[in-house]
Amino acid sequence: MKLERLKSAVLFCLVLISIVLTTQIWLNMPIEGIFIMSKEPDENINLLLSSNNDKASFIKPNKLIINNNGSHTLLLNQTEVSMIYDRILEDTRNMVIAALEAFEGIDIEKHEYEYIEKLRAGQTIELQLPFSYDYKLLTDILSIEDPKWQGIEHIDAILVGYFSNNLYLVDKGNNCIFELKSKFLKSSIRSMVDIIYNSRPYSYIFLSEVDHERYSDKVFIPVNITDHSMWKLSSYPESQGYTPENIAAIFFKDKDPSTLRSIEDSEGNIVYTDGEKQGIRISKSGLIEYVNYQTTLENSNSKFTLLDAVNIATNFVNNNLGFPKDSYISSIEQETLNNELYRCLIRYNYRYEGIPIVNYDINMDNPIEVEIVNGEVKRYRRIVKNIRITEEEKILKNPLEIIDILFVRLNHYKNIDMDDIRIKDMYMSYFEYGRDIPTSMIPVWVVEIEGDFKDTGKYILNAESGVILYEPY
């Protein structure tokens, strides 16, 4: 009996030591380069996930910002910190669900939008969403059946105080922030932030804090990126992993492939059709397009909601080639007729090591699009790439130099008054450059310009040289 007790005590001590050592490893784990990719990721990383993705997994921020008493940093969903990134998203999602489902025990206070300056000066994590979510749609996607606090209309961003566990829902269009607090709201975000700051992350700044007339509060750049670099990538169309017959079989599951009609044009693009309802076009560039011929844009008696549209789109993509890794809903457009939804266009984007992808075809810079009409998929387009790393690194130019180059272009060459130029957003991306296969993907700065002149929109500049690769016309 004494021997068994001794064994148990020794086993307990070993487990305790293991926990302590594991925690210490996490806390001392070096994550240099965590916010600008400098380490070589797995060359054989598989972009495609399994085809059973839940719709709630596509609610992701385009920027996850950590505010710490006036200092700021950006957390990218990179392989080496993906567990931390996912844990923060999961805890935030659970807090939103708990707060909006609660019948009691939640205090809510409404602030003016300017209150965000105080939140950023404090200790918060900030999830900036890709677009303004309709409140009902967001709660429906999160499966909140009877959400409280019906005064909230839209959600542009979500903040969490990682010491207080207070939750903040930002409705920028209505110039307000809703603060929800309760002793029942819990998270592990504080410990995740401690791990990140133990690694000495890069410092960032909101340029609106310097000049709010020139920059929107979305413009968030690193303070100093001297000597930092990003890998140049190469990409192949995902269609190269299949034969055209394989792709056709995916879309025409209830058809014998030998019964399909196929046509190949002079450029090597192939069209398959069943001659009745459906057709697909497989382009050499990697663009895959599906069309349902029988669905019309005319209104019908069938009714469907935005949630129905998200469900339909999610299921359709899951069943037809699947989603790339780190996919998220980037925008939703809707059209109504007689106050009823009849058309919806849902766009998805994806990221490589936390950096979004911009395709060579700027019109398809959201690589997956699903158009739903009267509750059916009318059109489905995707141009997804399998990405490989090269051995070539690109030194990044300071974002302030990029801004200066763009100002010279607009002011000197296009005669636009400097006072009329406002930068709406600025962020890093990978941009396909050239049409050869494999295609090069180079790091770029994407700068969104707004103002009362025709040359507004997205400008894409080589992050190494500052050369303007694309501008709106």
Record the tokens describing residue 383, joined without a space.
């141009």
Confidence of residue 328 (pLDDT cuts 50, 70, 90): very high
Helix (H, G, I), strand (E, B) or coil at 6: helix
Confidence of residue 296 (pLDDT cuts 50, 70, 90): low
State yes or no: pLDDT of 32 exceeds 50. no
Q: In whole angstroms, how large is the CA radius of gyration of the chain?
A: 24
Tokens 């939103």 sit on residue: 96
Tokens 């918060």 sit on residue: 124
d(CA 419, CA 407): 11
Better-scored residue on pLDDT, 328 or 296: 328
Classify the phi-psi angles of 353: left when phi > 0, otherwise alpha if psi is within -120 to 50, otherwise beta. left
Confidence of residue 43 (pLDDT cuts 50, 70, 90): very low
**29-43, 73-87, 193-207, 448-462: least confident range:** 29-43
Q: Tell me phi and psi for residue 242, to 5 degrees.
A: -130, 160
Record the tokens describing residue 424, joined without a space.
């709406």
Helix (H, G, I), strand (E, B) or coil at 380: strand
Specify the amino acid at residue 441. Answer: M
Residue 179, strand partner residues: 109, 168
d(CA 127, CA 88): 10
Specify the amino acid at residue 81. Answer: V
Identify how many contiguous H helices and E strands the chain contains and give both numbers: 8, 24
State yes or no: pLDDT of 46 exceeds 50. no
The pLDDT of residue 146: 85
Confidence of residue 192 (pLDDT cuts 50, 70, 90): very high
Mean pLDDT of the 338-354 span: 93
d(CA 124, CA 451): 31
State yes or no: pLDDT of 185 exceeds 80. yes
d(CA 182, CA 23): 29
DSSP 8-state class, residue 261 = E
The pLDDT of residue 114: 97
State yes or no: pLDDT of 71 exceeds 50. yes
The pLDDT of residue 393: 86
Question: What would the pLDDT profile of 88-127 be if each residue is shown by its tens digit?
Answer: 999 999 999 999 998 788 999 999 999 999 999 999 999 9
The pLDDT of residue 300: 57
The pLDDT of residue 363: 64
The pLDDT of residue 297: 54
Better-scored residue on pLDDT, 473 or 306: 306
Mean pLDDT of the 458-471 span: 94
Confidence of residue 84 (pLDDT cuts 50, 70, 90): very high
Question: What would the pLDDT profile of 149-180 be if each residue is shown by its tens digit?
Answer: 778 999 999 999 999 999 999 999 999 999 99
State yes or no: pLDDT of 47 exceeds 90. no
The pLDDT of residue 299: 52
Mean pLDDT of the 316-328 span: 94
* CATH code for the structural domain at 234-388: 3.30.310.160
Give the torsion through C-alpha atoms of 397, 424, 429, 49, to 10 deg.
160
State yes or no: pLDDT of 35 exceeds 90. no
Question: What would the pLDDT profile of 7-17 be if each residue is shown by its tens digit?
Answer: 455 454 544 44
State yes or no: pLDDT of 218 exceeds 60. yes
Tokens 């998220």 sit on residue: 328
Mean pLDDT of the 275-279 span: 88
**HEC-encoded secondary structure of 321-372:** CCCECCEEEEEEEEEEECCEEEEEEEEEEEEECCEEEECCCHHHCCCEEEEE
In whole angstroms, how far apart are CA 315 and each of 53, 59, 302, 322, 465? Answer: 8, 16, 19, 9, 42
Mean pLDDT of the 292-297 span: 73
The pLDDT of residue 49: 47
Nearest to 445 by CA among 75, 129, 80, 36: 36
Spatial CB neighbours of 65, under 8 Å, sequence gap ≥ 6: 72, 73, 74, 75, 125, 126, 127, 128, 204, 220
Nearest to 377 by CA among 339, 343, 347: 343
Mean pLDDT of the 352-358 span: 92
Nearest to 327 by CA among 305, 296, 350, 309: 350
Sign of CA dihedral 178, 184, 187, 188: positive
Nearest to 171 by CA among 187, 144, 185, 151: 151
* Cβ 348 vs Cβ 330: under 8 Å: yes
Tokens 């690589």 sit on residue: 367
The pLDDT of residue 17: 45
Confidence of residue 301 (pLDDT cuts 50, 70, 90): low
The pLDDT of residue 10: 45
The pLDDT of residue 34: 42
Question: What would the pLDDT profile of 386-427 be if each residue is shown by its tens digit?
Answer: 999 988 888 899 999 999 999 999 998 889 999 999 999 999
pTM of the model: 0.87
State yes or no: pLDDT of 369 exceeds 90. yes
Strands 355-358 and 340-352: antiparallel
Confidence of residue 227 (pLDDT cuts 50, 70, 90): low
d(CA 421, CA 215): 9
Better-scored residue on pLDDT, 201 or 319: 319
